[in-house]
Structure 1
Amino acid sequence: MTGSEVPPSFRLVYAPGVMPGKWVRIWNERLPGVPLTLTQVPASRAPELLVSRDADAGLVRLPVDRTVLSAIPLYTEQTVVVVPKDHLVTAVDEVSPDDLADDIVLHPLDDVLDWDRLPGRPALERPATTADAVELVAAGIGVLVVPLSLARLHHRRDLTHRPLTGAPESRVALAWPEDATTDLVDDFIGIVRGRTANSTRGRRTQQPGGEQGQQKQGQRKQGQQRAGKTERPGRDAGRGQRAAGRASSGKGRRAGGGPTPKNPRRGKPRRGS
């Protein structure tokens, strides 16, 4: 990819609850000449923006359509139930779905958990958003089951949460359009996967102008040249030793009775005439 084809910025979208701060900070350190535009969008909208090319990559919640999007799973979140602080389940360390059998379990329209069957009793209406459901929990209407990051995102002093066993879990992934794995996308993949700036697969670690990268490349070449000079005497000495060994071995064979050149002065004396 030539410089004229590099987009002026890298557009990253992320679902609520995902914390991209660390990766964005590393991006700004390694690629200061390529600004990163960060936008939070509803979890269901993130894949749509990637397919329509309104974003270069996204931190999304699985599943996504793998026929059009590539995805690298990053981590799986713990599922918790959000309850008022005076709720009975606060007396235990973790909760099972059976413990919620008598509770109204709210099911917001933007729920990110893939339920076969929601525990507890259903509410008369589904809240529009998770934020709305949290307000209903605070009002004593019911309880809410969400990934841990969303419970923290919508934290209130009058609410708490407990781990819920036997419930679906939400997986977070880095996704991008299948046919648009650009150099910048590959750079962000390297950051998310923990590659260092000096990784053999890490590129674009230098600013435009490349002085720092050229200096490091020159230092590597000098180091290779010094290493080569250091190794040659050892190789030459080894060749000399092997040659000397062959010569010594040859002498030993002649001294042991092997054929020697004929000497005309040696042999029986001639008879006198």
Structure 2
Amino acid sequence: MTGSDASPTPAPSASAVSPASPAFRLAYVPGVTPSKWVRIWNERLPDVPLELVQVEAAEAEGLLRERKADAGFLRLPVDRTELSAIPLYVETTVIVVPKDHVVAAAEEVAVEDIADEILLHPLDDTLDWETPPGRPAFERPATTADAIELVAAGIGLLAVPQSLARLHHRKDLTYRTLTGTPQSQIALSWPEDATTELVEDFIGIVRGRTVNSSRGRRPEEQDRKPGTAAKPQQGRRQGAGQKQGGGQKPQGAGGRRKPAGGAAPKSGRSGKPRRRS
């Protein structure tokens, strides 16, 4: 076959050469479980992969400022001059103790109950203490994980958000609710000057908006001009006393229906009128 008879090589399709969908990078600090929101994201935006980035609490703000994540779950407070934040929920504060400690016999513990105990205060502590209760340890542990090891060794006790106590669970330790202490608050945060459409989509998911809400991705919502109202859905009642698909037939005088065929309604009397005397 000559070159003139050869079929030309087909050009690649637009889908073959288009760039891949951008990924949405979501950071989260230890103790936060983003699986519920990730599942909803994958259902609503299957073409946009969501990448999870685990980050230590002390590094979360810097990660967002450096644009290494589009948004993140972190603990308040955050610097609101650069980052936006939506508070989500408050965590319960607990005291982590050995299982054979006297505190383990109670269901709830007050700060006054541990005044004579050594309370470990790690450098990555997430509670905003003015003055930590109890007696200070000789040295502050570097991390919460290190503090957990010291509790297991009988060196002291540790106050943390309940999510961190669950994260660092050990069979020889337990925890009880601790009252009269600061509480950690989880928030969704992102760079204020980088509020993209994907960020707005994720905010809608976290706030519980449905797919049909104003932040949804329905084509008819996107194509509608600003300020125009949506068309009424078919099948809804058009007004009181009307049937679906059309109103009632007009009624005759006195509220009675006009019989079929156009005949006037018959009177209640029949026969000739009686002659008056």
Match of 1:145 in 2: 159
Task: Describe the superposition over 1:206-233 as per-residue Cα deviations: whole angstroms up to 9, x where unpaired.
Answer: xxxx7xx99xxxxx979459988x8996
RMSD value over aligned CA atoms?
Answer: 3.1
Q: Which runs of 4+ in 1 moved over 2 A?
A: 4-7, 202-205, 220-228, 230-238
1:89 aligns with 2:103: yes
TM-score (norm 2): 0.74
1:203 to 185, 205, 216: 216
1:50/1:56 contact within 8 Å kept: yes
In terms of Rg, which structure is larger? 1
Question: Quick check: 1:81–1:164 contact (8 Å CA) kept in 2?
Answer: yes
C-alpha offsets along residues 121-143 of structure 1, whole Å, 9 cap, x if unaligned? 11111111100100110011100
Aligned-residue offset at 1:23? 0.2
- The answer to whether residue 145 in structure 2 is matched with residue 131 in structure 1 is yes
Unaligned 5+ segments in structure 2 are 1-17, 224-229, 254-277
CA contact under 8 A between 2:96 and 2:175: conserved in structure 1?
A: yes
Q: Is the Cα contact below 8 Å between 1:31 and 1:204 reproduced in 2?
A: no
2:71 and 2:245 map into 1 onto residues whose CA distance is 50
- Which residue of 1 is the match for residue 67 of structure 2? 53
> How far is 1:204 from its partner?
3.1
Is residue 192 of structure 1 aligned with residue 206 of structure 2? yes
> Deviation digits for residues 127-176 of structure 1, max 9, x if unmatched?
11100100110011100000000000000000000111100000000001
Q: Which residue of 2 aligns with 1:33?
A: 47
Query: What's the offset of the Cα at 1:202?
Result: 2.7
1:100 matched to 2:120: no
Amino acid at match of 1:204: R
Distance 1:226 1:150, change over 3 A: closer
State the Cα distance separating 1:51 from its structure 2 match.
Answer: 1.1
Q: Could you list the per-position Cα deviations for residues 69-111 of structure 1 after superposition, in whole angstroms to 9, with x for gaps in the alignment? A: 1110000000000000011111211111111122111011100
Q: Quick check: 1:68 aligned with 2:82?
A: yes
Between the aligned residues of both structures, percent identity stands at: 65
User: In the alignment, which residue of structure 2 is the partner of 1:19?
Assistant: 33
TM-score under structure 1 length normalisation:
0.75
Given that residues 94 and 165 in structure 1 are in contact (C-alpha distance below 8 angstroms), is that contact kept between their aligned partners in structure 2?
Answer: yes
Cα deviation per residue 1:244-271 (whole Å; 9 max; x = unaligned)?
A: xxxxxxxxxxxxxxxxxxxxxxxxxxxx
Higher relative contact order (CA 8 A, sep 6+): 1
Aligned to 1:114: 128
| Distance in 2 between residues matched to 1:126 and 1:61, nearest whole Å | 21
Please list, as runs of the form range in 1=range in 2, the aligned pairs for 1:254-265 lying within 5 A after superposition. Answer: none
Corresponding residue number in structure 2 for 1:266 = none
| Equivalent residues, number | 226
Distance 1:57 1:14 in 2: 9
Bigger share in helix: 1
Equivalent-residue separation in structure 2 for 1:157 and 1:171 (angstroms): 27
Aligned residue for 1:44, secondary structure, equals helix
